[in-house]
Structure 1
């Protein structure tokens, strides 16, 4: 996933599917083993190239949530945070569909 930079690997993802079964996008959680950073990106599957509402967030347990949200052509993020020794909540939204995890992926 180029948005986070080199060295990041996808460790989890969630498909954003609307009530009619149409995929609106996907939220990715990535991890960089070299520096202990996590990264979240939400990619659009619909209205690609057109500015629509998209968001991505990452919350390290015990710290404030970091969010990237707005009207974007392709994706929201990257949102990065060091999470060594902590659990993270992550998620995002596009096309009127959202996903949010509980605290997980504890390092």
Structure 2
């Protein structure tokens, strides 16, 4: 458990540092009214979501045909490029994918193979960060943390 928290803490710190480092990156084009299914692709269905404050939502999707999960963070209102992230981690396999940058509408998609595995996932918009651990694990209760700063 300590190792998982350390990995997630390092990922969160890396996200903040990388977000600053990518300040000059080209922003994604605005995609008003986009959906996580549009961002992740054909066959993906939303299985979980979490509000990123009032700024948007981070979505966990799953494709039953491929066994892959996808995460996308989508702003409520597209606008000026801002630091955003989407990430997903499978503790059992240590498979990890992330997307950090300055975007006008959404961050992601990020993909991992997650069939029959618990997943940790999250995202951020500006200074609001959401982290969900132990997600989609049958009877186990997930843990959600939202931080601002």
| Higher relative contact order (Cα pairs below 8 Å, separated by 6+ residues) | 1
Q: Aligned match of 2:61 in 14, 21, 30?
A: 30
Other-structure match for 1:4: 40
Distance 1:57 1:67 in 2: 4
Name stretches of at least 5 consecutive residues in structure 2 with no aligned partner. 1-36, 139-149
Larger strand percent: 1
- Give deviations 1:18-54, integer Å, cap 9, x for gaps: xxxxx111000000011100000000124x2321100
Given the alignment, which residue of 25, 36, 58 partners 2:88?
Answer: 58
- Greater fraction helix: 2
Q: TM-score if structure 2 supplies the norm length?
A: 0.63
- What do you get for the CA RMSD once the two structures are aligned? 1.4
Alignment length (residue pairs): 101
Contact 2:85 2:107 in 1 (8 A): yes
- TM value normalised by structure 1: 0.87
Distance 1:27 1:103, change over 3 A: same
Q: Which moved further from structure 2: 56-65 or 69-78?
A: 56-65
How many angstroms apart in 2 are the aligned matches of 1:37 and 1:65? 12
